[in-house]
Structure 1
Amino acid sequence: MSDQVFPRIASLCVAMSMALAAFVPAAHAASKRDQAAVEALDARMATAEQRYRAALVKIGNADPSGGAESDAALEDMEDVMADCMKQKGCSMPTMLATYKRLLKSQADAEAQVADDDAMEEEGDDDHATAAIAADVPEAARAAQLLADDHRFDKMVQYNPAVQAGIRRWLTDMRPALMSSYENYSYMRSMMWPQFERAGLPEALLFGIMAKESNGKVHVSSRAGAAGPMQFMYGTGKRFGLGPDGTGFDTRFDPRASAEASAAYLNERMGELNRSIELALAAYNGGEGRALRVYNGANGQGFWDAPVYNQFPAETRDYVPMVIAAAWLFLHPKQYGLSFPKVDAKPATLRLARPASIYELTICLGNGGTRDGFMRALRNLNPRYEADSWLPAGATLNATTKIVGLYGRHCAQGARAELARQLVMSDPTSAVVRGTAVASSEATVPTPVASAATPKPAKPAKVTKHKVARGETLTAISKKFQCDMRELAEANRIKAPRYSIKPGQTLKLEGCTAN
C-alpha cells in the first residue's frame, strides 16, 4: 500500500473538520438553483469516492498508477469541500460521512495486503495493519477534536508578535517543533483527554508543552520547575502533584501533569476574563502578578501597552511563542509544514528477560524512526531511570510497533545479546594495570615465591562506597558485583527510581568484589 495515501486522507480529515466547524446552516430553504448546485456537488463527491476506491484496487494489485489516481481523487474531494463551503444548503456532515467511509476503505485495504513478510525485515514499513484498522475510531475522534480546537483561532489574537513566533518555530526552532510533535504523539493518549474533559483546546496543550519542555518528561529547570508541563513544586502540590510516597514526583507523569495544567489554566481563566493570553502570562510570570495587573487594567487585554509592559520580557516572549506553536499545530498545511508520521498506538510490553531502557533502546534499533525509541520509552515510563534494571515479567507502556520489534530483536537472539554486552561493559576494565615487559623478556617464567619472599599484603575489604557525581546505583552494583536489589534494600533506596546523590555513602551489602 502506498505510504502517501493514509496521510492524504488524514489531511482531508483536517480540511473537513475545519469546514464542519465553520459551517452554519442556512436560515431559509434553499432555492431550486441552490438545490441543483448541491446535487451537482454530491455527484462530484460520489464520483471522486468511486475513483478513489478504484485506485485502492490498483494499489492492492501493485499497479504504479494507483498512487497517482488516489491523489487525484483526493484532490477532487478537496475541491468539492471548498465549493461546498461557498454553496448555500450544502451539507458538511454528509461530506464528513464520505470521509469516514474512505477511512474504513483505507483500513480494509491495508488489512488485505498485510502479511507476515512485513515483519521480517526492519527496513520494511512497520505500521501494523491491524493497528491502523483499530485506529479508525480514534482518527474520527481526532478529527472532531480538531474541529473543536479551531475555536482556538477565535480565542487568541493572530498579531505580529504571534507571527514572529511562528517565524521562529519554522526557522531556527523547527527541529524543536518537530521533536515536540513526535514526543507529544507518543503521550497524546495520556495527555489530551485531560484537556478535553476540561473543555480546553488540544492546541493549547501542545503549545505549552512545546515551549516548556519540547515534550521531554524528565526536564527540570534551574528554578525548580519539572516535568513536561514544568510545574514548580509549590504550584504542583496545590494541584495534586509531587512525591507520591514511592520516591516518584508526579510532576514527571504526563497524565497527571496534563490534568493539573488543565485545572490550573481553567482556574486562571476564571479569574482573568477567560483570556488565554493572560492565563499564559500567569503560567509563566506568576498568577499573583497576572491578577494584580488584570485588576488594575480596567478591562484591557494582554496586548494593551499598560498591561503588556507590566510583565517581564520572558513572559512577553512566552505568550506569543505558545500561541504560535498552537497555531502551527492547527494549521500546518498553510505554512508548508509536514509533521512527522508517528506510529504511536498504545500497547503493553512485558519483558521476557531482565532489561533496562538503555538495553531496549539498543536492541529495538531505529525501526524506521530518526532517533529510535529511547525518548518514547522514557516518556511513557517516567518512573524508571534509563539504566535501572527491570525484572523479567515487568511491564512497560509502549506502542504496538515497539512490542513487535521487541519480540523480533530483544527477547532473544544475537542483537539482544549484543545489547546486553554493551550496557554491561565497564570502561575501566579496558585499562591494563601493572608494568609492561619487553618482548624479549615476555617468555621468561615468573620465579616461584620462596619461603623467604614476603607475600603481598591483602587489601582491606571495602565495605562502603561514597557516590561520585554521575554515578548510578546500577553502575555501582556492576563495579562491586552486587545484587542491585539487595544493595538498594540495605541502603533504604526505593524502587523503581533507585535515586542516589553525589556524596551519599552506601553500604556494600551483597557485593563480591569488595
Structure 2
Amino acid sequence: MSSFSAVRFMRLVSLAVAVSLVAACASAGPAKPSAAIGALYGQLDVASKGYETALQQSREGDLPASRATLVQSLDRLKVAATQCGNTPGCDSQRFFSTFDHLLRLKDGDFGGAQDLDGDVDPTQAALAVAGKTGAASLPQSQRSVTLLHGQKLSQLIAMNGPVKAALEMWLTQWRPQLMDAYVNYEYMRYQMWPSYEKADLPEALLFGIMAKESGGKVHAVSRAGAAGPLQFMYATGMRFGLVSDNGFDTRFDPAASARANAEYINEQLRIFNDNLEVTIAAYNAGEGRVRRIVGDDTSVSFYDPRIYNELSQETRDYVPAVLAAAWLFQHPDSYNLRFPKLDVVPGSITLQRPASLSELTVCLGSAGGMNDGWFRTLRNLNPRLDPQVSQPVGTALQVPKLLEQAYASRCVDGPWPILADDLHKAAIPVVAAPPVASPAKNRDVKNYKVRPGDTLISIVRKLHCSSVQEVAEMNDLGHRHLRIGQVLKVPVCR
C-alpha cells in the first residue's frame, strides 16, 4: 500500500470510529454485571495505547506495521464502544473523550512527511518541494502541523460546551460564511500566511480570526470603524504600521494586515503568558480592558466566572467562534465537512485593453468553475483599485494563475469585453431635484464638526433650514466623502 493510500485508509477508519461511537451511545440494551464495565474501560485503554503505537510507527516510516496496529486497535475500540452502549452504568462520554484525545494526537505527524489528518495531492507536494509555486501550494499535510510557539494548537483548544456550540453554528447557520472565508483565504494565502509562519503562529488561528471578523472580504468595514480582512480599528492599526499610503488605507492590504495581526497576537501572548483564549478576547474586546479584568493571574481560564462574566456577550461568543473555525480548518473531515479543492497558484495579467475589475468579472464569467464569479477574488488581490474605475492598458493585476489563459481568451477580443463595457457605461436616469433658493448673500454661518454616523442629509435635517446642495457648495465638497472630525460651514438657522 502506498503511503498516500495508507494515510487515506487511516483517516477513513478514524472517521468510522467516530460514527460508531455516536451509534453506540444512542443504543440501549440489557444490563450486565458491573465488573464488565471495568473490562470495557480496560479495552478502551488498550485500544488507545494501540492507536498511539500506530501513530508512532507511521512517523517512523513503518507503514505496514502501523496499518496492522491501527486496524486492531480501532476494531477493539469499536467493539468496546458498542458494548458500552448496551451496558447500564457504562459512561459513553468516556469513549467520546478518548476519541477526542486520539484526534488531537494525529494533529501533525512531526516525525514524517505525511499527517494522518491530511489529504495530500502528490502533484502539489512535488511542486512545493521543487519550490515552484511558493506557500500557496503547500500540501494540506504540512498546513495541518499548526503550532503555537512549539505547542500543538489542538492541545490549547478546550473542547467544551461553548466551542462545541460554535462548531455547530459554523456547520449550520454560519456554514456559507465559513465556505466563503475558506475560498477567499485560499486565494490570499500566499500573501497572508508567510507573516504568521515567520511569527511562529498557527495558520489555523489566522483563518479562525479572519473567518469570524470579515469572512475574507478585504474591504469589510464594521459599524465601529474596524476595517480590512482582520478588522483593525484605526488607532490599533496605526500602532502596528497600518497607515495611509498615498491615500490607501493599508488596513485593507491582506499582507500588511496579516503582518500587523501576527505582531499584535504575539505581543498579547507575551503579556498573557501564551494564554490563547485570553489573547483572542483581547483582540476583540481591547487589550486594556482584558488586562484590567485578568490582572496578574495570566493563567486564569477565559471561562472562569471572574473573567467570563465581566466580558460582553460579543466577546463571550467571539472567542469560541474563532477557536471552532480554527479547529474545523485543521480537521474538516472529522466533522463531515469538505472544503473545496482549489487551484490557488498566484499569477498576474497585463491589461491589453482598458477595463475595470467589474468589467473583468463580467467577461471572465465562471472560468475555472467559479460559479459565484471572480469579483471578490479580484478585489481581494488588488485592494488598491476602485472596482468601478477603468484601468489603462499596461496595468498589471494580481489574479490566480488559472485566469491568465481565461483572460487572454475571453477578455481581450470577442463579445464578452464588449458586453462588459456596455453594461459598465450604462447611464442611470437622474431625476431633477426641485430648484433650491439661493442662500442669502449675507447669511450668517457657523461651524459644525462631523460626528460618527453623520451624512450630509442627516446634517441638513438637523438644520431645518437648508439643503444638501447649499451645504455642499458652502464647503466645496463636490463628491468627496465626509471625514469624522471635519469642520463644515453651515447656515445659522433662526
How far apart in 2 are the matches of 1:392 and 1:255? Answer: 26
Q: 1:199 to 1:407 in 2, by over 3 A?
A: same
Matched letter for residue 202 of structure 1: E
What does residue 350 of structure 2 align with? 350
What does residue 447 of structure 1 align with? none
What does residue 403 of structure 2 align with? 402
Q: 1:247 to 1:12 in 2, by over 3 A?
A: farther
What does residue 227 of structure 1 align with? 228
State whether structure 2 residue 173 is matched by structure 1 residue 159.
no
How far apart in 1 are the matches of 2:10 and 2:365? Answer: 32
What does residue 375 of structure 2 align with? 374
Do the aligned residues in 2 keep the contact of 1:241 with 1:251 (CA within 8 Å)?
A: yes
Q: Secondary structure at the residue paired with 2:349?
A: strand
Deviation per CA, 1:245-291: give whole Å up to 9, x if none.
x1100000000000000000100111112111111110010100111
Q: Secondary structure at the residue paired with 1:397?
A: strand
How far apart in 2 are the matches of 1:106 and 1:240? Answer: 35
What does residue 426 of structure 2 align with? 425
Do the aligned residues in 1 keep the contact of 2:11 with 2:117 (CA within 8 Å)?
A: no
Share of identical aligned residues, percent?
A: 42
Quote the offset at 1:292 in angstroms.
1.2
Deviation per CA, 1:164-187: give whole Å up to 9, x if none.
001011111110111110111111
What does residue 144 of structure 1 align with? 142
How far apart in 2 are the matches of 1:10 and 1:169? Answer: 30
What does residue 50 of structure 1 align with? none
Do the aligned residues in 1 keep the contact of 2:136 with 2:344 (CA within 8 Å)?
A: no
Q: Secondary structure at the residue paired with 2:244?
A: coil
Deviation per CA, 1:432-468: give whole Å up to 9, x if none.
x9xxxxxxxxxxxxxxxxxxxxxxxxxxxxxxxxx99
Deviation per CA, 1:136-159: give whole Å up to 9, x if none.
986456532322348111122111
How far apart in 2 are the matches of 1:353 and 1:292? Answer: 57
Q: Secondary structure at the residue paired with 1:268?
A: helix
Question: Which of 467, 472, 481 in structure 2 is aligned with 1:501?
Answer: 481
Matched letter for residue 501 of structure 1: H
Q: Secondary structure at the residue paired with 2:144?
A: helix
- 1:436-455 → structure 2 map (5 Å cutoff): none
Structure 1 unaligned segments of length 5 or more: list them: 1-7, 45-81, 109-128, 434-466, 470-490, 494-498, 504-514
How far apart in 1 are the matches of 2:332 and 2:137? Answer: 18
What does residue 281 of structure 1 align with? 281
Moved more, 137-146 or 158-167: 137-146
Moved more, 142-151 or 186-195: 142-151
What does residue 388 of structure 2 align with? 387
What does residue 315 of structure 1 align with? 315
Quote the offset at 1:12 in angstroms.
4.5
What does residue 326 of structure 2 align with? 326
Q: 1:307 to 1:205 in 2, by over 3 A?
A: same
Do the aligned residues in 2 keep the contact of 1:253 with 1:382 (CA within 8 Å)?
A: yes
Q: Secondary structure at the residue paired with 1:223?
A: coil
Deviation per CA, 1:365-385: give whole Å up to 9, x if none.
012112110000000000001
Q: 1:408 to 1:284 in 2, by over 3 A?
A: same
Matched letter for residue 340 of structure 1: P
Quote the offset at 1:241 in angstroms.
0.3
What does residue 438 of structure 1 align with? none
Quote the offset at 1:412 in angstroms.
1.1
State whether structure 2 residue 286 is matched by structure 1 residue 306.
no
Do the aligned residues in 2 keep the contact of 1:183 with 1:216 (CA within 8 Å)?
A: yes
What does residue 263 of structure 2 align with? 263
What does residue 360 of structure 2 align with? 360
Quote the offset at 1:416 in angstroms.
1.4
Quote the offset at 1:353 in angstroms.
0.7
Quote the offset at 1:342 in angstroms.
2.2
Q: 1:364 to 1:14 in 2, by over 3 A?
A: farther
Quote the offset at 1:14 in angstroms.
11
Q: 1:501 to 1:206 in 2, by over 3 A?
A: same
What does residue 90 of structure 2 align with? none
What does residue 443 of structure 1 align with? none
Question: So what's the TM-score if we normalise by structure 2?
Answer: 0.64
- 1:50-61 → structure 2 map (5 Å cutoff): none
CA-based RMSD of the aligned residues comes to: 4.4
Do the aligned residues in 2 keep the contact of 1:169 with 1:325 (CA within 8 Å)?
A: yes
What does residue 188 of structure 1 align with? 189
How far apart in 1 are the matches of 2:174 and 2:412? Answer: 38
- 1:62-77 → structure 2 map (5 Å cutoff): none
How far apart in 2 are the matches of 1:210 and 1:337? Answer: 16
Do the aligned residues in 2 keep the contact of 1:23 with 1:92 (CA within 8 Å)?
A: no
Deviation per CA, 1:100-127: give whole Å up to 9, x if none.
9x8557899xxxxxxxxxxxxxxxxxxx
Q: Secondary structure at the residue paired with 1:428?
A: coil
Quote the offset at 1:161 in angstroms.
0.3
How far apart in 2 are the matches of 1:354 and 1:15? Answer: 50
How far apart in 1 are the matches of 2:188 and 2:177? Answer: 16
Q: Secondary structure at the residue paired with 1:157?
A: coil
Q: Secondary structure at the residue paired with 2:390?
A: coil
Q: Secondary structure at the residue paired with 1:427?
A: coil
Q: Secondary structure at the residue paired with 1:318?
A: helix
Quote the offset at 1:40 in angstroms.
4.5
Q: 1:417 to 1:207 in 2, by over 3 A?
A: same
Structure 2 unaligned segments of length 5 or more: list them: 15-48, 69-101, 433-454, 458-475, 484-494
How far apart in 2 are the matches of 1:165 and 1:43? Answer: 34
Do the aligned residues in 1 keep the contact of 2:285 with 2:315 (CA within 8 Å)?
A: yes
How far apart in 2 are the matches of 1:10 and 1:98? Answer: 9
How far apart in 1 are the matches of 2:389 and 2:201? Answer: 37
Quote the offset at 1:15 in angstroms.
5.7
State whether structure 2 residue 210 is matched by structure 1 residue 203.
no
Quote the offset at 1:427 in angstroms.
3.1
Question: So what's the TM-score if we normalise by structure 1?
Answer: 0.61
Matched letter for residue 184 of structure 1: Y
Q: 1:39 to 1:190 in 2, by over 3 A?
A: closer
Quote the offset at 1:492 in angstroms.
12
Q: 1:221 to 1:14 in 2, by over 3 A?
A: farther
How far apart in 1 are the matches of 2:201 and 2:50? Answer: 21
- 1:118-137 → structure 2 map (5 Å cutoff): 134=132
Q: 1:327 to 1:389 in 2, by over 3 A?
A: same
Q: 1:207 to 1:39 in 2, by over 3 A?
A: closer
